[in-house]
Amino acid sequence: MTVLHLADEGEAADLAAFLSRLLHYDRSAAVRLQAAGTALAVFGRPPSFEVLAVRAVRLAKPYENGLDVTLDVTVSAGELLESVDEPGATAGVPGAVTGPPWAGVLPPRGGWRAEPGLPAPDALRALVAAAVAEFRARTRELPPEGRTRAELDRIGKEIWSRTVGETRLPVRAVHAAQSLGFLRPARGAREEDLALLSSGAWLRLRTPYGSIAVRRAGLGALDVSVR
């Protein structure tokens, strides 16, 4: 089995936490791994949010067992989590699985530019809390016969499709960032570590712990990187 040597125990713990959160939303979740040199990107798609989550992981050194240039494979998130050795700061790469459709369509590697208007982290967390409270209040008001899955989905879509402030970022992307642990306070974080970026049809909320990418509606397959 190919062995990934992570930079330290903290990187291993953060990777394990990210995988655990993905599995909370989808017990059969798959992740796509892409790496070159000592940088690893882990892509996942929690189905509840309709976004792409990206966790960057620092590696201490490239790979063993003959893999010495690049890594690009889709694997089971559960099997990858089981292979993470936090004290040893290593992870084994499981065997490849048939990737879900989203794994073939990833955000572009470059061409990102800053988008204005993103609120501060505290304001984003407050926005998510208010949206969750609104969803709960509105669903509690429904009569028992009206509390159908279709009606709950309709209310959720209305709330989570709203945009953040004057930006084009849907609230569901911020909710995903909060739920996956990307919006927690970071020691020593700078204001520029949290940013909204765009490239072609994609928007990306970048945080110190990872990114949430979402493809804007109505642009079809323009500016999509298929790899």
Tens-place pLDDT, residues 154-171? 999 999 999 999 999 999
The reported pLDDT for the residue numbered 69 is 61
160 and 212 both lie in a single domain: yes
The reported pLDDT for the residue numbered 217 is 58
162 and 184 both lie in a single domain: yes
- Which of 71, 106, 141 finishes a domain? 106
How many domains would you assign to the chain? 2
14 and 88 both lie in a single domain: yes
90 and 157 both lie in a single domain: no
Given a cut of 50, the residues of the chain with pLDDT beneath it are 218-227
146 and 46 both lie in a single domain: no
- Which of 50, 82, 106 finishes a domain? 106
221 and 125 both lie in a single domain: yes
188 and 152 both lie in a single domain: yes
**Distance (Å, whole) CA 153 – CA 59:** 40
Tens-place pLDDT, residues 174-191? 999 999 999 987 665 555
Amino acid at position 177, single letter: A
**Distance (Å, whole) CA 179 – CA 174:** 9
The reported pLDDT for the residue numbered 218 is 38
What does pTM read for this prediction? Answer: 0.87
The reported pLDDT for the residue numbered 225 is 41
The reported pLDDT for the residue numbered 61 is 80
102 and 121 both lie in a single domain: no
Give me the CATH number covering residue 76. Answer: 3.10.150
- Which of 74, 106, 138 finishes a domain? 106
91 and 43 both lie in a single domain: yes
Q: What 3 state SS string does 160-185 have?
A: HCCECCCCCCEHHHHHHHHHCCCCCC
Could you tell me where the beta strands, DSSP code E, fall in 117-224? 195-199, 202-207, 210-215
In terms of residue numbers, what domain contains 151? 113-226
12 and 89 both lie in a single domain: yes
